Amino acid sequence: MTADELQDLIDDATYDYSTGANATALEKLTRATAAAPESFEAWHALAEVHFSLRQLDAALAAGERAHALRPADLFINTTLSRIWMERGDKAKAEHFGAQAKIGGWREQLKNPGTQADGIK
Could you tell me if residue 39 is left (phi over 0), alpha (psi between -120 and 50 degrees) or otherwise beta? beta
Q: What average pLDDT does range 22-26 have in this prediction?
A: 97
Rounded CA separation 72/32 (Å): 22
Stated as kind and residue range, the H or E segment containing 50 is helix 40-52
Whether the per-residue pLDDT at 38 is higher than 70: the answer is yes
Rounded CA separation 71/106 (Å): 13
Rounded CA separation 26/14 (Å): 9
Q: What global pTM score does this model have? A: 0.84
Contacts of 32 (CB under 8 A, 6+ apart): 6, 9, 10, 13, 39, 42, 45, 46
CATH of 3-110, one of 1.25.40.10, 3.40.50.300, 3.90.1010.10, 3.30.450.20: 1.25.40.10
- What's the pLDDT at 64? 98
pLDDT digits (tens, 9 = 90+) for 49-95: 999 999 999 999 999 999 999 998 999 999 999 999 999 989 999 99
- What's the pLDDT at 111? 81
How many helices and strands (H and E) does the chain possess? 6, 0
Rounded CA separation 42/26 (Å): 11
pLDDT digits (tens, 9 = 90+) for 86-105: 999 899 999 999 888 887 88
Whether the per-residue pLDDT at 115 is higher than 60: the answer is no
